Amino acid sequence: MKYLSTRGHPDRKQFCEILLEGLAPDGGLYLPEKYPKLSANDLANLRHIWSEKGYADLAFAILSLYIDDIPSSDLLALCRKTYTEQVYGTKNIVPLKPLDDGVYLEALSNGPTLAFKDMAMQLLGNLFEYELERRGETLNIFGATSGDTGSAAEYAMRGKKGVRVF
Question: How many CA atoms, within 13 angstroms, populate the side-chain half-sphere of residue 135?
Answer: 17
Q: Which pLDDT score is estimated for 86?
A: 95
C-alpha to C-alpha distances, 27 to 14, 21, 23, 33, 120, nearest whole angstrom: 18, 11, 5, 17, 22
Q: Which of 2, 81, 117, 161 is catalytic?
A: 117
Res 29: pLDDT: 97
Active site residue 160: no
Interatomic CA distance for residues 58 and 55, integer angstroms: 5
Predicted local confidence at residue 166, as pLDDT = 87
Instruction: Between 81 and 115, name the one with better pLDDT.
Output: 81
Please report the pLDDT score of residue 109 as a whole number. Answer: 87
List, for residues 24-67, the tens digit of each pLDDT value.
Answer: 999 999 999 999 999 999 999 999 999 999 999 999 999 999 99
Q: What is the pLDDT of residue 150?
A: 82
